[in-house]
Amino acid sequence: MPGFGKVVIVSQHYPPDLSTTAAIMADIAEHLAQDASVLVLSGTPGSATGAATASRRPVVVEIRNRMAEKAALIKRAAAEACFTLRAFMAALRNLRRGDVALTVTAPFMLPYAVAAAARLKGARSALIMHDLYPDVLVMAGLLKPASMAASAMRLANALMFRALDAVVVIGRDTGKLLSRYRGITPNKIRFIPNWATLAPGVRAVAPDNRYRRANPARFVVGLSGNLGFTHDPLIVFEAARLLLDDPDIHFLLSGWGMGFERLKQMQSEANLPNVTLVDRVEDENLEEFLSAANVWLIPYRRDVAGVSVPSRFYNLLAVGRPVILVSEPDAEAALTVSEHDIGWVVPPGDAGELAAAIRRASQSDDPRRAERAAAIARHFNFADAMASYSLLVRGLQRNDG
């Protein structure tokens, strides 16, 4: 994008961090760098590239940051506050009029700082809305809806949305919640869903798959990915308990985060024979792992609609697997499942309903559901997403929003 200012991407998570957010922000930075000067302000140790880098590659500058465990809430909040302050100062040093600042909602204080820095320096700003605060904290039971903290966040949101030039939503359900804020106008909202990182196509359920060899069950129910504040591990474990009498059904559970630690604790106490726990699967083994299950679970707590969208969803579809989604029917992933008949949607908090849905899935012999899942994954692709981000940045650089 010759003649325009640079793109400044601010993210706490960036490779070598292994999180989904890190991968997404790196993909966006690498793509935008093909046509523009891109500077990444990263909070991940070991991410810096130094001042000199190859042409058409982003320059990554590391901001000092201390990553605290998610379970240590007070330490984590303090560390994130320090990082946010440092990111604000770094943004002030690097932003110029005509630049575009792009950031994400992790940690939740970061977008406020980046939007403020961009406004002070006469730059344009955009936020990729992965999670909506305080709603996600209310959903997780960490905040009361009418608490002072929640009210303060909503007030800060109103100021931030007024300052931002664009908000990227990755789910259609988020717009309704954003419309509560006066600072949000329809022209500010851009729908750019995340994408599958695996090539779409139905993978066969192979008996020699290393993740299936250990159990003889005909039907494997899988769970993969981060289990954070918005997820409900208990409903998965209770459904497994309810299905103990069915030797044809086995649960293959893998992941990380607070929820997965809770799963490990429950299994160490109950030792259910129909549950196998697997530590986080490396990217090079992800395709084989996702091919091991007949159906995949995504278990959310109540009130997920508009608050969070599961990035893992698209890779589950890409390998040609139906999905059982625990969420309200108007959440983005639930809408996709129902609209295209690629799985089942179960109300949050009802382990009996989840167990019944798993039984129905195990008795279903419709191969077209898997074919539809892979076909839908083709609509959530990297090329379309990157074209949308390029269009967004060009528009902001031209100051036409």
Task: Please tell me the predicted confidence (pLDDT) of residue 229.
Answer: 81
Least confidently predicted of 45-49, 241-245, 309-313, 356-360: 309-313
pTM: 0.87
Q: Residue 400: what pLDDT?
A: 45
Strands (E), 258-337: 275-278, 295-299, 323-326
Q: Please, what is the average pLDDT of the chain? A: 91
pLDDT digits (tens, 9 = 90+) for 77-134: 788 899 999 999 999 999 999 999 999 998 889 999 999 999 999 999 999 998 888 8
* pLDDT band at 337; cut points 50, 70, 90: very high
Can you tell me the distance from the alpha carbon of 209 to that of 286, in angstroms, rounded to the nearest whole number? 12
pLDDT at 206 over 70: yes
- Residues 220-250 pLDDT 10s: 999 998 888 889 999 999 999 999 999 999 9
DSSP labels for 99-133? -EEEEESSSTTHHHHHHHHHHHHT-EEEEEESB-T
Angle of the 351-363 helix axis to the 233-242 helix axis, nearest 10? 60
Contact 377, 318 (CB under 8 A): yes
Neighbours of 187 (CB within 10 A): 9
Q: Where are the alpha helices (DSSP H) in 70-225?
A: 73-94, 110-121, 135-139, 148-163, 174-178
Per cent of the chain over pLDDT 70 is: 96
User: Does residue 211 carry a pLDDT above 60?
Assistant: yes
Could you tell me the domains of the chain?
7-195+381-397 (3.40.50.2000), 219-377 (3.40.50.2000)
Torsional sign, CA 114, 118, 123, 124: positive
Q: Which two tokens stand for residue 206?
A: 């192979």
In this predicted structure, the answer to whether residue 2 has a pLDDT above a threshold of 60 is no
**Could you give the CA distance from residue 1 to residue 127 in angstroms, rounded to a whole number?**
20
* Paired tokens of 148: 């002072």
Band (pLDDT 50/70/90 cuts) for residue 322 is very high
CA 44 from chain centre, in angstroms, equals 18
CB of 338 closer than 8 Å to CB of 329:
yes
3-state secondary structure (DSSP) of residue 320: coil
353-382: average pLDDT: 93
Q: What is the pLDDT of residue 186?
A: 87
Query: Does residue 315 have a pLDDT over 80?
Result: yes
Q: Quickly state the pLDDT bin for 54 (edges 50, 70, 90).
A: low
Average pLDDT over residues 268-277: 95
pLDDT computed for residue 224 by the predictor: 93
Q: Please tell me whether residue 181 adopts helix, strand or coil conformation.
A: coil
Q: What is the pLDDT of residue 401?
A: 44
Structure confidence at residue 52 (pLDDT): 53
Give the pLDDT mean for 136-152.
88
Confirm if 399 and 124 have CB atoms less than 8 A apart: yes
pLDDT in tens, 151-182: 999 999 999 999 999 999 998 888 888 988 98
How far apart, in whole angstroms, are the C-alpha atoms of residue 168 and residue 200?
Answer: 25
